[in-house]
Chains A and B, each alone.
Chain A
């Protein structure tokens, strides 16, 4: 059974601080995706990482895929109140039709 462990589950920080969210698994995934979910809405894709060791940047967000394609991290620099939300990592196995295995999520609260 493929599982993704995401940590921390909750994070409350002040505006301007940096933070890192981790996503770890014992399984290898074809790709790993990061989503952000607002209350009452479905998850929205932020980034997909495919290659081991890959680093992608999206403004103040930096995503890394581990060399072995089993883990990933999301780093936010100088967090803003608009970053508040639920962040989800999800692994995809294209040999299994691309279904996503999600982590438990990280509830981020950025206070002014």
Chain B
């Protein structure tokens, strides 16, 4: 079956702009996670959804970052007033049971 998909695969934006990153999890997976991976580093946890609700958003760096999952499937990560330091690969993962997480290919965000 289809894996986790993320769109766009690449996004270039200017400092101060607003961006939305989309994640389509594997069908039926109730848990969805967002991570951010900077160059040369391992992924860092941002936020975790169980169904429609954000169960843990402790990894969001500041209030410019927000994520939603209104119908318990697709999720959107929203970044307001982007800064150059937001440049990274944003990874999404889903799981049916909270154990093995299946990752998407990521969205590469570059803020100029």
Residues of chain A touching chain B, judged by Cβ–Cβ distance below 8 Å, are 4, 6, 31, 33, 35, 40-45, 48, 88, 90, 92, 94, 96-105, 107
Assess A99 versus B45: contact at CB under 8 Å? Given A42-B4, A42-B105. Answer: yes
Q: How far is the CA of A12 from the CA of B95 in the complex (A)?
A: 34
Shortest C-beta distance, A94 to chain B (Å), equals 6
A residues near B95, Cβ cutoff 8 Å? 98
Contacts of A40 in B (CB 8 A): 105-106
Interface residues of B (CB under 8 A from A): 4, 31, 33, 35, 40-45, 48, 50, 55-56, 59, 91, 93, 95, 98-106
Q: How far is the CA of A73 from the CA of B59 in the complex (A)?
A: 27
Q: A40-B105, A42-B4, A42-B103 are in contact. Are A98 and B42 (CB under 8 A)?
A: no
B residues in contact with A90, CB < 8 Å = 42-43
The answer to whether A96 touches B42, judged by C-beta atoms less than 8 angstroms apart, is no
Shortest distance in angstroms between B3's beta carbon and chain A's nearest beta carbon? 9
- Choice from B4, B33, B50, B55 contacting A100 with Cβ under 8 Å: B33
Interface contact A98-B43, CB-CB below 8 Å: no
A24 to B63, CA, bound (A): 32
Task: Find out whether the CB atom of B42 lies under 8 angstroms from the CB atom of A103.
Answer: yes
Residue pair A97, B50 in contact (C-beta under 8 Å):
yes
Q: How far is the CA of A88 from the CA of B42 in the complex (A)?
A: 7
Which residue in chain A gives the minimum CB-CB distance to B56? A97
B43 with A100: CB separation less than 8 A: yes
Report the minimum CB–CB distance from B78 to chain A (whole Å): 20
